[in-house]
Structure 1
């Protein structure tokens, strides 16, 4: 059973001039929507006809992925994003297709463990998982994206909160359309797998997600005004049970992830990696008993790590359906490098450190 939520009329955002060369993507990104202090502002829709690539070639529209900032074919981006609650219990590892995400949010849940809100748009896999239940902060994380959310279930009050958000809900507990299966080679309840590309294909009426962050060049923090420091490693402590870390790998220009001191790999066997790591210090609301609720509406301390550098600043989010805005200590927009991003929602009771 699909829960058809009220669908927000979102215009496709972030598209730049058609026919732009991929080699100039960083310049276009910085000039077209990287300069705006508010990345939620939608760039004007492009109406010019695409220029032909060759004498006999059909016109191809070149745009940019709104959640990655990378070059993409315009027609390939005309579909919704899908946000999925992904398990991070030890028995749920390795997860499926984390390296194909556009965004991943890591959040504290009960028992000091963490779970992910993983978001796919530019590269939607056939299968993702393991899928787990919703939590009270998830509507605030997912609402700015629109599109689809998929999860296994959850407490009735949390499910109701998610259903009230402006997204289409797909719930394992109520699904009778075959979008979810249980994997024979995984222990329950860490075995629920979602047919992600099929879920997206069933909702062609939904628009692409809006741009969420400002993007710059491949080394977006090089400008001295950001006062970025060279960084070889990032350490984050959510609780006594969860302490993810990231090591800069210059060879691949990515951050390589570890959990509790061990290399973190996905089901493909690849090391989990990210082009950008955004670390946010967040408050925790304990009004739901043993279930912590990450406070997403407000502001706090933040760091952006990209291209082996880290810049300090603040994050702010004005409303549940508003995007996160990252601002440097100098007052400029903190830009990301084009590529995938992990957003680490580290409680203020935890810790963060950056090694030179």
Structure 2
């Protein structure tokens, strides 16, 4: 796996985020939002179509664009947030459990930027560990619980909530707040950094030997579920979330080439939402078991991420690297039995 030089940490001014979100937990909102989550602050309205955004005029002057690092965007996965925008353009999509047994997504972009991404939602403590595998990534998010802000400020990433780059965000039409906040990626960086920025540890190539034929796989959280259905015609896994097929706003299916069910430790954190629900902490450093879905087959795998600055290696039972299919990868963090 490739190693990369670390750059000095630079404190952000994320402490500007002082307000917390007050909205319905049933709608997937957990009280971790900044002032942007209530539709006020520095956001520009009226809002354009979430599938196109407005014409891009270059990076935000306040964004200090970086062209060598991935862009990670926290994306809402409540029913009211669907269909999401820009998921189909991500190189990697991570799914994690949040408060109340619901789910949230993190989309990582390196090879191309869509015109818009969203709806954008709040960050979690687990995100900081997950993102350390990249070299100073940019994290776009709507806000965070105020007790988490000092940890975000110290993290080795570039945190860009709406308060620091208001012209990069906008409110979309057709959805109610807080499920209507969108990001224009090229307002944060002029272009995507390229595949070399994806220091995930993943291996791509020919399908491994063996595996078990599988046409459908469901992963359940306490109050959410994901189903992946193999399409031989497309050579992809069609995504359904909570029983609804995932599509882009113009109807194109969200269909990764590889799906990883990664079994991890999910424990209680020191953080709670405004209703008192504990925020789960998804531990992505360590070792464990996984199932890799590609080409209509399921492969047993072991995963290993020894340090937070490392990517995650997936290997077959005999210890050889387990190749992913070229294309988008979804990683679902599931609680280890």
- The alignment yields a C-alpha RMSD, in angstroms, of 2.1
Question: How do 1:140-155 and structure 2 match up within 5 A?
Answer: 140-146=129-135, 147-155=137-145
**Pairwise CA distance, 1:209:** 3.9
Q: Report the equivalent of 1:90.
A: 79
Give the conservation status (yes or no) of the 8 Å contact 1:96–1:268: no
Give the conservation status (yes or no) of the 8 Å contact 1:280–1:301: yes
**Pairwise CA distance, 1:169:** 1.0
Give the conservation status (yes or no) of the 8 Å contact 2:264–2:283: yes
Rounded Cα–Cα distance in structure 2 between residues aligned with 1:305 and 1:278: 6
Pick aligned residue for 2:156 from 159, 166, 175 = 166
Give the conservation status (yes or no) of the 8 Å contact 1:134–1:159: no
**Pairwise CA distance, 1:202:** 8.4
Q: Report the equivalent of 2:88.
A: 99
Q: 1:301 to 1:211 in 2, by over 3 A?
A: closer
Question: How many matched pairs?
Answer: 266
**Pairwise CA distance, 1:88:** 0.2
Q: Report the equivalent of 1:307.
A: 295
Question: How do 1:173-192 and structure 2 match up within 5 A?
Answer: 174-192=163-181
Q: Report the equivalent of 1:281.
A: 263
Give the conservation status (yes or no) of the 8 Å contact 2:94–2:106: yes
Deviations 1:167-196 (A, max 9, x none): 211012x22541111113221011111111
SS in 1 for 2:115: coil
**Runs of at least 5 residues in structure 1 that lack an aligned partner in the other structure:** 1-6, 11-77, 350-356
Give the conservation status (yes or no) of the 8 Å contact 2:133–2:200: no
**Pairwise CA distance, 1:137:** 0.4
Q: TM-score if structure 2 supplies the norm length?
A: 0.74
Deviations 1:48-80 (A, max 9, x none): xxxxxxxxxxxxxxxxxxxxxxxxxxxxxx643
Q: Report the equivalent of 2:6.
A: 8
Q: Report the equivalent of 1:269.
A: 251
Q: Report the equivalent of 1:196.
A: 185
Does residue 320 of structure 1 match 2:330? no
Rounded Cα–Cα distance in structure 2 between residues aligned with 1:209 and 1:341: 12
Q: Report the equivalent of 1:256.
A: 238
Which range is displaced more, 103-112 or 262-271? 262-271
Deviations 1:63-118 (A, max 9, x none): xxxxxxxxxxxxxxx64320000000111111001111100000000011100110
Rounded Cα–Cα distance in structure 2 between residues aligned with 1:210 and 1:295: 18
Pick aligned residue for 2:205 from 216, 230, 255 = 216
Question: How do 1:100-119 and structure 2 match up within 5 A?
Answer: 100-119=89-108
Deviations 1:137-194 (A, max 9, x none): 001111212331110111123233233222211012x225411111132210111111
Q: Report the equivalent of 1:339.
A: 327
Rounded Cα–Cα distance in structure 2 between residues aligned with 1:134 and 1:176: 16
Q: TM-score if structure 1 supplies the norm length?
A: 0.70
Give the conservation status (yes or no) of the 8 Å contact 1:79–1:200: no
**Runs of at least 5 residues in structure 2 that lack an aligned partner in the other structure:** 9-66, 273-277
